[in-house]
Structure 1
Amino acid sequence: MTREITKQALEAAIIRNCSPMLAGLKPACLFTFPGVFLAQGEHVDKQELARSNRAKLLEELEPCAKALAPSGISLRVLTWRSCGALVYVYRPAMLRRWIADPHAARPFDSLAVYDAPGPQEQAACQALGAALA
Protein backbone atom coordinates (compact mmCIF):
# COMPACT_ATOMS: atom_id res chain seq x y z
CA MET A 1 0.00 0.00 0.00
CA THR A 2 1.31 3.44 -0.86
CA ARG A 3 -0.04 6.75 0.27
CA GLU A 4 0.33 10.30 -0.86
CA ILE A 5 3.39 11.93 0.66
CA THR A 6 2.01 14.86 2.61
CA LYS A 7 2.73 16.42 5.98
CA GLN A 8 -0.66 15.17 7.20
CA ALA A 9 0.04 11.59 6.05
CA LEU A 10 3.44 11.64 7.72
CA GLU A 11 2.01 13.08 10.96
CA ALA A 12 -0.71 10.41 10.96
CA ALA A 13 1.89 7.68 10.43
CA ILE A 14 4.03 9.03 13.29
CA ILE A 15 1.04 9.17 15.65
CA ARG A 16 -0.22 5.72 14.60
CA ASN A 17 3.17 4.01 14.84
CA CYS A 18 4.98 5.95 17.56
CA SER A 19 2.38 6.64 20.25
CA PRO A 20 4.36 4.92 23.06
CA MET A 21 7.46 6.95 22.19
CA LEU A 22 5.47 10.18 21.91
CA ALA A 23 4.00 9.49 25.36
CA GLY A 24 7.49 9.04 26.79
CA LEU A 25 7.04 5.31 27.47
CA LYS A 26 9.90 4.18 25.26
CA PRO A 27 12.95 5.87 23.74
CA ALA A 28 12.38 5.06 20.06
CA CYS A 29 10.11 3.62 17.39
CA LEU A 30 10.58 2.45 13.81
CA PHE A 31 7.99 2.34 11.08
CA THR A 32 7.81 1.96 7.35
CA PHE A 33 6.24 4.81 5.42
CA PRO A 34 4.89 3.02 2.32
CA GLY A 35 5.91 4.13 -1.13
CA VAL A 36 8.41 3.62 -3.93
CA PHE A 37 11.65 5.12 -2.66
CA LEU A 38 14.17 2.82 -4.33
CA ALA A 39 13.88 1.63 -7.91
CA GLN A 40 15.07 -1.84 -8.76
CA GLY A 41 16.36 -2.44 -12.25
CA GLU A 42 17.08 0.14 -14.88
CA HIS A 43 13.62 1.57 -15.49
CA VAL A 44 14.23 5.29 -15.86
CA ASP A 45 10.63 6.17 -14.94
CA LYS A 46 10.79 4.20 -11.70
CA GLN A 47 14.18 5.67 -10.82
CA GLU A 48 12.82 9.19 -11.31
CA LEU A 49 9.70 8.36 -9.26
CA ALA A 50 11.85 6.95 -6.43
CA ARG A 51 14.13 10.01 -6.49
CA SER A 52 11.12 12.33 -6.46
CA ASN A 53 9.46 10.40 -3.61
CA ARG A 54 12.65 10.51 -1.51
CA ALA A 55 12.93 14.28 -1.99
CA LYS A 56 9.23 14.75 -1.16
CA LEU A 57 9.39 12.65 2.02
CA LEU A 58 12.49 14.50 3.24
CA GLU A 59 10.74 17.80 2.47
CA GLU A 60 7.69 16.76 4.52
CA LEU A 61 9.85 15.29 7.29
CA GLU A 62 11.55 18.64 7.96
CA PRO A 63 8.52 20.51 9.40
CA CYS A 64 7.58 17.46 11.47
CA ALA A 65 11.12 17.30 12.86
CA LYS A 66 11.06 21.02 13.67
CA ALA A 67 7.69 20.70 15.41
CA LEU A 68 8.87 17.74 17.54
CA ALA A 69 12.35 19.09 18.35
CA PRO A 70 11.22 21.23 21.33
CA SER A 71 9.90 18.01 22.90
CA GLY A 72 13.30 16.37 22.51
CA ILE A 73 12.22 14.13 19.64
CA SER A 74 14.26 13.50 16.49
CA LEU A 75 13.32 11.91 13.18
CA ARG A 76 15.46 10.32 10.52
CA VAL A 77 15.09 8.04 7.55
CA LEU A 78 17.30 5.01 8.17
CA THR A 79 16.97 3.41 4.76
CA TRP A 80 15.08 3.63 1.50
CA ARG A 81 13.36 0.55 0.07
CA SER A 82 11.34 -0.17 -3.02
CA CYS A 83 8.32 -0.75 -0.74
CA GLY A 84 8.83 2.12 1.71
CA ALA A 85 11.14 4.26 3.79
CA LEU A 86 12.20 3.07 7.25
CA VAL A 87 11.65 6.05 9.57
CA TYR A 88 13.25 6.18 13.02
CA VAL A 89 11.58 8.45 15.59
CA TYR A 90 13.49 8.76 18.85
CA ARG A 91 14.28 10.75 21.96
CA PRO A 92 18.10 11.05 21.90
CA ALA A 93 18.47 11.94 25.60
CA MET A 94 16.19 9.10 26.72
CA LEU A 95 17.93 6.69 24.36
CA ARG A 96 21.36 7.63 25.75
CA ARG A 97 20.14 7.03 29.31
CA TRP A 98 18.55 3.74 28.32
CA ILE A 99 21.69 2.53 26.56
CA ALA A 100 23.83 3.56 29.57
CA ASP A 101 21.68 1.39 31.85
CA PRO A 102 23.67 -1.80 32.58
CA HIS A 103 20.57 -3.96 32.17
CA ALA A 104 19.81 -2.45 28.78
CA ALA A 105 23.42 -2.60 27.68
CA ARG A 106 23.43 -6.36 28.23
CA PRO A 107 19.91 -7.42 27.24
CA PHE A 108 20.89 -11.01 26.54
CA ASP A 109 22.24 -11.72 30.02
CA SER A 110 18.70 -12.06 31.36
CA LEU A 111 17.70 -14.36 28.50
CA ALA A 112 20.00 -17.24 29.40
CA VAL A 113 17.09 -19.70 29.41
CA TYR A 114 16.32 -18.87 25.78
CA ASP A 115 18.45 -19.42 22.72
CA ALA A 116 21.24 -16.90 23.01
CA PRO A 117 21.88 -14.70 19.99
CA GLY A 118 24.94 -15.41 17.93
CA PRO A 119 27.99 -13.19 17.56
CA GLN A 120 26.48 -11.36 14.57
CA GLU A 121 23.37 -10.33 16.51
CA GLN A 122 25.44 -9.22 19.51
CA ALA A 123 27.80 -7.24 17.27
CA ALA A 124 24.84 -5.56 15.54
CA CYS A 125 23.35 -4.52 18.91
CA GLN A 126 26.71 -3.20 20.09
CA ALA A 127 27.23 -1.27 16.86
CA LEU A 128 23.76 0.29 17.19
CA GLY A 129 24.48 1.26 20.78
CA ALA A 130 27.82 2.82 19.81
CA ALA A 131 26.24 4.73 16.93
CA LEU A 132 23.56 6.19 19.19
CA ALA A 133 25.91 7.06 22.08
Structure 2
Amino acid sequence: MWLPSRLEAQLKRDAGISHYDYFTLMQLWKAPQHTLRMSELAAASDMTLSHLSRVITRLEKQDLVRRLPDPGDGRSTLAELTTDGLALFEQAAPGHVSEVRRLIFDNLEPEEQRHFSDAMSKIVAAMDSGERRPQR
Protein backbone atom coordinates (compact mmCIF):
# COMPACT_ATOMS: atom_id res chain seq x y z
CA MET A 1 0.00 0.00 0.00
CA TRP A 2 1.39 3.40 -0.98
CA LEU A 3 1.59 6.48 1.25
CA PRO A 4 -1.49 8.27 -0.19
CA SER A 5 -3.58 5.12 0.29
CA ARG A 6 -2.45 4.73 3.89
CA LEU A 7 -3.16 8.37 4.70
CA GLU A 8 -6.58 8.13 3.02
CA ALA A 9 -7.37 4.98 5.02
CA GLN A 10 -6.37 6.65 8.28
CA LEU A 11 -8.60 9.67 7.62
CA LYS A 12 -11.55 7.50 6.58
CA ARG A 13 -11.13 5.29 9.65
CA ASP A 14 -10.60 8.07 12.21
CA ALA A 15 -12.72 10.93 10.83
CA GLY A 16 -14.88 9.53 8.02
CA ILE A 17 -13.43 11.95 5.45
CA SER A 18 -11.19 11.73 2.41
CA HIS A 19 -7.78 13.32 2.04
CA TYR A 20 -9.32 15.94 -0.30
CA ASP A 21 -11.94 16.68 2.36
CA TYR A 22 -9.24 17.02 5.03
CA PHE A 23 -7.09 19.28 2.88
CA THR A 24 -10.09 21.50 2.08
CA LEU A 25 -11.03 21.74 5.76
CA MET A 26 -7.40 22.56 6.60
CA GLN A 27 -7.28 25.42 4.07
CA LEU A 28 -10.48 26.90 5.54
CA TRP A 29 -9.20 26.36 9.10
CA LYS A 30 -6.07 28.40 8.25
CA ALA A 31 -8.03 31.23 6.58
CA PRO A 32 -9.18 34.41 8.35
CA GLN A 33 -12.66 33.81 9.79
CA HIS A 34 -12.32 30.25 8.37
CA THR A 35 -13.66 31.59 5.06
CA LEU A 36 -12.26 31.76 1.51
CA ARG A 37 -13.57 32.54 -1.95
CA MET A 38 -14.09 29.33 -3.88
CA SER A 39 -11.48 30.44 -6.43
CA GLU A 40 -8.92 31.07 -3.66
CA LEU A 41 -9.74 27.76 -2.02
CA ALA A 42 -9.33 25.93 -5.34
CA ALA A 43 -5.91 27.54 -5.85
CA ALA A 44 -4.80 26.83 -2.26
CA SER A 45 -6.01 23.23 -2.55
CA ASP A 46 -4.55 22.70 -6.04
CA MET A 47 -7.95 21.59 -7.34
CA THR A 48 -10.00 22.69 -10.30
CA LEU A 49 -13.14 24.63 -9.42
CA SER A 50 -15.17 21.68 -10.69
CA HIS A 51 -13.40 19.21 -8.40
CA LEU A 52 -13.55 21.61 -5.46
CA SER A 53 -17.27 22.10 -6.05
CA ARG A 54 -17.83 18.34 -5.70
CA VAL A 55 -15.75 18.27 -2.50
CA ILE A 56 -17.64 21.26 -1.06
CA THR A 57 -20.99 19.66 -1.95
CA ARG A 58 -19.97 16.50 -0.07
CA LEU A 59 -18.82 18.57 2.94
CA GLU A 60 -22.03 20.65 2.88
CA LYS A 61 -24.11 17.47 3.09
CA GLN A 62 -22.24 16.66 6.32
CA ASP A 63 -22.75 20.25 7.62
CA LEU A 64 -18.96 20.76 7.73
CA VAL A 65 -18.85 23.66 5.25
CA ARG A 66 -21.36 26.15 3.90
CA ARG A 67 -21.40 28.30 0.77
CA LEU A 68 -22.24 31.97 1.11
CA PRO A 69 -22.55 34.81 -1.39
CA ASP A 70 -19.51 37.10 -1.28
CA PRO A 71 -20.79 40.47 0.01
CA GLY A 72 -17.81 42.21 -1.63
CA ASP A 73 -18.30 40.61 -5.05
CA GLY A 74 -21.70 39.35 -6.13
CA ARG A 75 -20.08 37.11 -8.75
CA SER A 76 -18.11 35.14 -6.18
CA THR A 77 -19.07 32.48 -3.67
CA LEU A 78 -17.44 31.98 -0.30
CA ALA A 79 -16.82 28.69 1.45
CA GLU A 80 -16.99 28.85 5.23
CA LEU A 81 -16.03 26.23 7.80
CA THR A 82 -18.98 25.49 10.10
CA THR A 83 -18.72 24.85 13.83
CA ASP A 84 -19.05 21.11 13.10
CA GLY A 85 -16.38 21.38 10.40
CA LEU A 86 -14.02 23.14 12.78
CA ALA A 87 -14.60 20.50 15.45
CA LEU A 88 -14.06 17.64 13.00
CA PHE A 89 -10.86 19.16 11.61
CA GLU A 90 -9.46 19.80 15.10
CA GLN A 91 -10.37 16.22 16.08
CA ALA A 92 -8.83 14.72 12.90
CA ALA A 93 -5.64 16.79 12.65
CA PRO A 94 -3.61 15.29 15.54
CA GLY A 95 -4.17 11.72 14.36
CA HIS A 96 -3.37 12.64 10.78
CA VAL A 97 -0.17 14.45 11.74
CA SER A 98 0.79 11.49 13.93
CA GLU A 99 0.23 9.09 11.02
CA VAL A 100 2.39 11.21 8.68
CA ARG A 101 5.14 11.27 11.30
CA ARG A 102 4.86 7.52 11.85
CA LEU A 103 4.93 6.63 8.16
CA ILE A 104 7.64 9.07 7.09
CA PHE A 105 9.72 10.71 9.76
CA ASP A 106 9.89 7.94 12.35
CA ASN A 107 11.72 5.82 9.78
CA LEU A 108 14.47 8.40 9.26
CA GLU A 109 17.51 9.22 11.33
CA PRO A 110 17.82 12.89 12.43
CA GLU A 111 20.32 13.67 9.66
CA GLU A 112 18.08 12.00 7.08
CA GLN A 113 15.17 14.08 8.36
CA ARG A 114 17.18 17.28 7.80
CA HIS A 115 18.09 16.20 4.26
CA PHE A 116 14.48 15.25 3.57
CA SER A 117 13.26 18.60 4.88
CA ASP A 118 15.82 20.50 2.78
CA ALA A 119 14.90 18.54 -0.35
CA MET A 120 11.16 19.02 0.20
CA SER A 121 11.65 22.77 0.73
CA LYS A 122 13.38 22.99 -2.64
CA ILE A 123 10.67 20.93 -4.33
CA VAL A 124 7.87 23.04 -2.85
CA ALA A 125 9.65 26.30 -3.74
CA ALA A 126 10.13 25.14 -7.34
CA MET A 127 6.49 24.07 -7.60
CA ASP A 128 5.29 27.36 -6.10
CA SER A 129 7.37 29.41 -8.52
CA GLY A 130 6.63 27.24 -11.53
CA GLU A 131 10.34 26.79 -12.11
CA ARG A 132 11.76 23.62 -13.52
CA ARG A 133 15.17 22.27 -12.77
CA PRO A 134 17.39 22.01 -15.86
CA GLN A 135 17.66 18.52 -17.33
CA ARG A 136 21.06 16.88 -16.88
Q: Pick the TM interval, shorter chain.
A: under 0.3
Tell me which protein shows more strand as a share of its residues.
1
- With normalisation by structure 1, the TM-score equals 0.27
Tell me which protein shows more helix as a share of its residues.
2
